[in-house]
Amino acid sequence: MDSSGREVRSDMTDSTTMPLDIIRSGKPCSADDSRGGSRKREEVLAVAAQCFLTRGYEGASVNGMSRRSGISKESIYRYFGSKKELFEAVIERQLEEHQRKLDRLDTTHGAMELREALVVVAETALTVLGSENTLALRRLVFDEARRAPELGDYYYRIGPERALATLRKLFTEHVVECAFDSEALSRYFLAMTCHGPILERECRMAVEPTRDSVARLAATVVDDFMSAFLRVRS
């Protein structure tokens, strides 16, 4: 309670009150794993994503999310312990496709040629990062990271670092001769794949890519990269 008798829940309104010590999984804080609970949590995330993207991190309020979703603030507290944790769950939700494809690649790449695996990584990165929602979310993350660096760290670990980990594994297992180690190759590959297209999207010089345009660009980047950098096992 404050001096006027109003209930204060600073953990959901002050973005600095609950520092993050670990990467959150985005799972509900309660033990409610029922279908209704999962559906309600997804509704909260959908509304929260829209609020963050349209109003920014500071402008988005849990009260507003509660009104728009028809879900009580108490229920939102039960699923997410803080506004920061809710924002992290929105980030994870936006990168869900990215993580799912990389997880699948981690388990199947042994049966794939290196070129085929690199095309999957490139297509995944270009599709996710080129979407309007991801671009808007990245801007929010970068802006908020100035005040709460742990949010930037969280985005980096489940986004770019997740892709780098997959690439390091691919290059370690497939490359025979190269002047660069797997860490350098991974970073150069992501730079070649993403820098130009994402810069053009951020500057509004290009529209959101289609599946066909992503496939063509990914194939070209992979072929150029392999020609310039690699000798692989036959």
More confident residue, 120 or 6: 120
pLDDT at 230 over 50: yes
What pLDDT digit, counting tens, does each position of 191-206 carry? Answer: 999 999 999 999 999 9
**Mean predicted confidence (pLDDT) in 130-156:** 92
Nearest to 129 by CA among 163, 103, 104, 86: 163
pLDDT in the model for residue 194: 96
Mean pLDDT for 152-164 is 94
177: which strand partners?
A: 231
Closest CA to 83 of 162, 157, 139, 144: 144
Token pair belonging to 171: 């290059």
Question: What CA–CA distances, in Å, run from 212 to 5, 120, 126, 219?
Answer: 59, 14, 12, 11
**Cα distances (Å, whole numbers) of residue 177 to 8, 171, 189, 233:** 61, 11, 16, 9
Q: Exposure of 177 by Cβ count < 10 A (0-12 exposed, 13-18 middle, 19+ buried)? A: exposed
Give the DSSP H/E element, type plus range, for residue 69: helix 62-69
Confidence band of 28 (pLDDT split at 50, 70, 90): very low
pLDDT, residue 232, reads: 73
Least confident of 14-23, 110-119, 171-180: 14-23
Domain 12-92 has CATH 1.10.10.60: yes
18 pLDDT more than 70: no
Measured CA to CA, the distance from residue 55 to residue 49 in angstroms comes to 10
Q: Indicate if the pLDDT at residue 21 is higher than 50.
A: no
Task: Look at residue 36 in the predicted model and tell me its pLDDT.
Answer: 59
Q: Can you tell me the distance from the alpha carbon of 50 to that of 45, in angstroms, rounded to the nearest whole number?
A: 9
E strand or H helix at 177: strand 175-177
pLDDT of residue 175: 85
Domain 95-232 classification at class level:
mainly alpha
Domain boundaries, the chain: 12-92, 95-232
43-100 per-position pLDDT tens digit: 889 999 999 988 888 888 888 888 888 888 888 888 898 888 999 999 999 898 788 8
What is this structure's pTM?
0.76
